[in-house]
Amino acid sequence: MQTEYAQRRQQFLAKIGKGTAVFRSSPMAVMHNDVEYNFRQDSDFFYLTGFNEANAVAVLTAQHEHHRFVLFVQPKDLEKETWTGYRVGVEAAKERFGADEVYPIAELREKLPQYLEKADRIYYRLGRDRRFNDTILSQWQTLMATYPKRGTGPTGIEDPAPTLHALRQVKSPAELDRMRTAAAISVEAHNRARKFACPGRYEYEVQAEIEHTFGLRGTGVAYPSIVASGANACVLHYTENTRQMQDHELLLIDAGCAYEYYNADITRTFPVGGKFTAEQKILYEIVLAAQMKAIAQVHPGNPYKQIHDTAVRVLVEGLMDLGLLVGDIEEIIKEEKYKPFYMHRTGHWLGLDVHDVGVYQHGETPHNLEPGQVLTVEPGLYISPFIKPVEGQPEVDSRWHGIGIRIEDDVVVTEQGCEVLTEGVPKAIEDLA
């Protein structure tokens, strides 16, 4: 894996020419008072280094005589490590992470200028750590003050994101392996949860069953698990998971694990008591048809947007057949009159982040899919008891109220078309009822 991190740094350096890039690790996030959340490295930092400690800085530059990759890390400190866990330390970081030079983080202000002074710009993403932003800005100002004497130095700060995120958007075979594992564990968790769920159980029990599987496989949640029964499924980010499930209701589970930093993101919706009502079944069939047709659009060269457009058309046709939307289909789609029923996009990139980085559109020009890109396909229909159709559209009969359905799979663009990583969780009606 070290070779792969080195390759990524090389690729990135080739793109920034005479610039020097500075990346900051994630901070420790406070849960409350003296207690911190488990540390999770910043995805850009991790992608380029594999180093997963807080309070670190990585520098990538082609503008230093000897060093291309430099790390600033927390030094070994046995007393502190007794409290907060082991640190790699300065010596071992050089060896283990392939850095040309490693310094204690306390030396950042003193050592950083030598990596910036010959660069034509600083690649740095202004982050939430104001003090660190100030460090970079003040170093830049200092260098610019002496620019007239030297005639070299960074004349601007540029966000590394567009360059770096274009690399992150296309996954390597090693990354895809991790994503396959994350998907397989999440598939197992969903399958266990579906068998476990039944009327009378509470949503949090199902959540525990899912996360138990994640834990047994050495992983954790990729995002807060959504276990939404009945009308709760109409709340897109419902995470309370406190309700007792009833017969004749649907259960929507949106849950995935993170395996070695790579995420899965799966949603399934099924009848808690093993039997769809007529209304649930009709809406489910529409969402499933939309999802299957949208997945069929995942093919290299196809515009990303086509996936959403395809799903929307199938959903709108279905709602029109039921009389829940009326009028001209093109106008309904163009003016987004379906939005009270379907208010989110049909997916997102997936990878080190659940909502992964990378562009979806280049101004007026569509982004076309490329092999190695990974995305979710997740259409849904949500008929909240409080739904308000747009003006000119009919009121929704109460028999549809409280039904929320989403079906979400993780899909890799391949040379020939696509590979659905999460197809091991059933979604056909006959497998659910």
Smallest distance from the beta carbon of 228 to ligand GLY, in angstroms?
A: 12
Q: Which is nearer to ligand GLY, 51 or 214 (CB)?
A: 214
Q: By CB under 6 A, name the binding residues for ligand GLY.
A: 223, 254, 265, 348, 354, 378, 408
223 binds, among ligand GLY, Mn ion, none (CB under 5 to 8 A by kind): ligand GLY
* Site for Mn ion contains 254 (CB under 5 A): yes
Q: Would residue 190 show up in a list of annotated catalytic residues for this protein?
A: no
DSSP at 302: S
382 carries an active-site annotation: yes
Task: State how far the Cα of 408 lies from the Cα of 355, in Å rounded to an integer.
Answer: 14
Mark 374-393 with x for binding to Mn ion (rule: CB under 5 A) and - for no binding: --x-----------------
How many whole angstroms separate alpha carbon 47 and alpha carbon 50?
6
Helix (H, G, I), strand (E, B) or coil at 308: helix
Q: In terms of CB distance, is 69 or 262 closer to ligand GLY?
A: 262
Q: Which is nearer to Mn ion, 122 or 381 (CB)?
A: 381
Per annotation, catalytic residue among 217, 345, 348, 401: 348
- Annotation says 308 is catalytic: no
Which contiguous run of DSSP H or E holds residue 109? Answer: helix 108-111
* Cβ proximity to ligand GLY, 240 vs 247, nearer residue: 240
Nearer to Mn ion, 117 or 265 (CB): 265
d(CA 362, CA 288): 30
| Closest listed residue to residue 410, CA positions, set 208, 255, 211, 226 | 255
Stretch that binds Mn ion, among 43-51, 207-215, 335-343, 373-381 (CB under 5 A): 373-381
Catalytic residue among 237, 331, 362, 415: 237
344 is an active site residue? yes
Tell me how far apart the alpha carbons of residues 206 and 202 are, in angstroms, rounded to a whole number. 7
User: Cβ of residue 346: shortest distance to Mn ion, in angstroms?
Assistant: 10
Rank residues 348 and 367 by Cβ distance to ligand GLY and give the closer one: 348
- Shortest distance in whole angstroms from residue 22 CB to Mn ion: 31
Cα separations in angstroms, 151 against 25, 124, 379, 406: 32, 22, 55, 58
Which residue among the candidates 254, 356, 409, 410 is catalytic per the annotation? 254
| Strand duo 101-104 + 122-123: pairing | unpaired
Q: How far is the CB of 140 from Mn ion (least distance, A)?
A: 38
The per-type count for the chain, helices as H runs and strands as E runs, is 15, 21
Q: Which of 42, 53, 211, 265 is catalytic?
A: 265
DSSP characters over 189-216: HHHHHHHH--TT-BHHHHHHHHHHHHHH
188 binds Mn ion (CB under 5 A): no
Q: Is 32 a catalytic residue?
A: no
SS3 131: helix
Minimum CB separation of residue 343 from Mn ion in Å reads 14
Contacts (Cβ under 8 Å, ≥6 apart) of 433: 270, 271, 274, 275, 276, 281
Residues forming the active site: 34, 237, 254, 265, 344, 348, 355, 378, 382, 406, 408
